[in-house]
Amino acid sequence: MDNYNIPEIARNVFWVGAKDWNRRMFDALIPLPQGTSYNSYLVKGEEKTALIDTVNPGFEEEFEQKINLVSDLKKLDYLIMNHAEPDHANAIRYIMDRAPNAILLATERGIKMAGLYHELPEGRVKVVAEGDSIDLGGRTLRFIEAPWLHWPETMFTYLPEEKVLFPCDFFGAHTAQGVYDEDLEDLIPLAKRYYGEIMMPFSKMGAKALEKIKDLDIDIIAPSHGPIYKNPERILEPYAKWTAGETENKALIVYVSMWGATREMVNTIAETLLKEGVDVRVYDLAVSDIGDVARELVDSRAIVLGAPTVLAGMHPLALYGTYLVKALKPPAKYGVVLGSFGWGGGALRQAGDILTPSSMEVVGTLQVKGRARAEDLKEIEEIGRQLAQKMKS
């Protein structure tokens, strides 16, 4: 096909990636309600050509055709791997088999990591490190190590002549819609969701990366998922807040309820918090998109968990939600755990065991047998008032 859309995002810099409109799950964990994209960029200098990242399995032929529409793939000089994950690096061997003189460039960790997933051509691999660069003829590509964003080998690539930053997964968003940030009004909520799902556990490394690039002259940010930012401040400003762990006067309530008892408890604390002027977001884990929960975790100051007991432990969905909080390491400062049981408790203890290593202060807990009585609901209201006061202080 010769009518592919291949945007020239800057002078002689072309988007040659793929849009995966129908993908609905990533890592068997992350829902993708708008699909996603696998962004790859071809940079043409006066003397040499470089390809930055590749595409997900299944898009190799389309990828090859797009490259050949703007440059002869056989004459490719460099293939730059910012990140070894298969959605960006799977087509390395496919491309290098068709570009016999191309050299693969990656960090030392990147080469080792790529070798675990991809068959690399012997003798055609070069390690690059912080501050290294290559000259394409009138174009320079400079490399910036950005470990743990979100794998240990990640790096950014910077094109100073066109002021373009290629940060791979950093600043990304899972959506197949749009080409540029101006195409999507709801892009920042999508980017926030993506940050919560993928980058939030590495917020300290994210802050270090922002410090590294703060003095770069950047006109365009070209991530490896989602739209390209013509207005870099649109994503740089929220990332500065998110990586710093800034929270809002907001409580995230996640719960499971089998027969309504736990739901009544969380509804009581939700109404109390609303009355105290707290922004409240409530998600029933049985029916909620976990990506929406991850988005809310990014800047919630408090987390309320509602967990009934099932066979002496937490309901499996509540257990999943609790482990998710532990794994994503949100900046929430305060927590509350509420639950109910029939013939034997256990959920409260298990939740405490999981959340104890976190830095959250547990403001209150309550576990009731059967349904909450009037005095129980009064106690929940008091816990809600105490939580609201701490959140405001």
- Average pLDDT rounded to a whole number, residues 40-50: 98
- Average pLDDT rounded to a whole number, residues 295-324: 92
Alpha carbon of 341 to those of 321, 333, 344, 364, 370: distances in Å?
18, 27, 6, 18, 6
Provide the pLDDT for residue 33. 95
96, two tokens: 């290098």
Q: Is 187 helix (H, G, I), strand (E, B) or coil?
A: helix
Task: List pLDDT tens digits, range 127-139.
Answer: 999 999 999 999 9
**Residues 281, 254: Cα–Cα separation, whole Å:** 8
Give the pLDDT band of residue 121 (cuts 50, 70, 90): confident
257, two tokens: 């309820």
Q: What is the mean pLDDT of the chain?
A: 95
341, two tokens: 């049981």
Q: What's phi and psi for 50, nearest 5 deg? A: -130, 145
Provide the pLDDT for residue 4. 93
- Average pLDDT rounded to a whole number, residues 349-360: 78
- Average pLDDT rounded to a whole number, residues 66-77: 98
Give the pLDDT band of residue 349 (cuts 50, 70, 90): confident
Provide the pLDDT for residue 359. 83
Give the pLDDT band of residue 71 (cuts 50, 70, 90): very high
- Average pLDDT rounded to a whole number, residues 156-179: 98
Provide the pLDDT for residue 355. 76
- Average pLDDT rounded to a whole number, residues 74-86: 97
**Residues 334, 252: Cα–Cα separation, whole Å:** 11
Q: Residue 116: exposed, middle, or buried by beta-carbon count in 10 A (0-12, 13-18, 19+)?
A: exposed
Alpha carbon of 344 to those of 62, 280, 312, 334, 340: distances in Å?
58, 31, 6, 27, 9
Task: List pLDDT tens digits, range 8-31.
Answer: 999 999 999 999 999 999 988 889
Task: List pLDDT tens digits, range 197-220.
Answer: 999 999 999 999 999 999 999 999
Has residue 51 got a pLDDT over 80?
yes
390, two tokens: 């701490």
Do the beta carbons of residue 167 and residue 160 sit within 8 Å? no
- Average pLDDT rounded to a whole number, residues 257-285: 97
Q: Strand 13-15 relative to strand 41-44: parallel, antiparallel, unpaired?
A: antiparallel
194, two tokens: 């993506």
| Alpha helices for the chain (secondary structure H) | 60-70, 86-89, 92-98, 108-117, 187-194, 203-213, 233-243, 261-275, 290-297, 316-328, 347-355, 374-392
Do the beta carbons of residue 387 and residue 334 sit within 8 Å? yes
Task: List pLDDT tens digits, range 169-189.
Answer: 999 999 999 999 999 999 999
Q: What percent of the chain clears pLDDT 70, i.e. is strictly above it? A: 99
Radius of gyration of the chain (CA): 24
Return the higher-pLDDT residue of 346 and 239: 239
Task: List pLDDT tens digits, range 355-377.
Answer: 776 789 999 999 999 999 999 99
Has residue 125 got a pLDDT over 70?
yes
Provide the pLDDT for residue 1. 66
Query: Residue with structure tokens 């290559």?
Result: 134
Provide the pLDDT for residue 350. 81
197, two tokens: 């799902």
Has residue 117 got a pLDDT over 90?
no
Question: Which residues touch 212 (CB under 8 Å, ≥6 apart)?
Answer: 144, 146
The counts of H helices and E strands in the chain are 12, 23
Lowest mean pLDDT among 120-129, 239-248, 296-305: 120-129
**Residues 143, 159: Cα–Cα separation, whole Å:** 9
- Average pLDDT rounded to a whole number, residues 55-64: 97
DSSP 149-186: SSSTT-EEEEETTTTEEE-TTTT-----S-SBGGG-TT
Instruction: Tell me which residue of 275, 328, 272, 327 sits closest to 304, measured CA to CA.
Output: 272
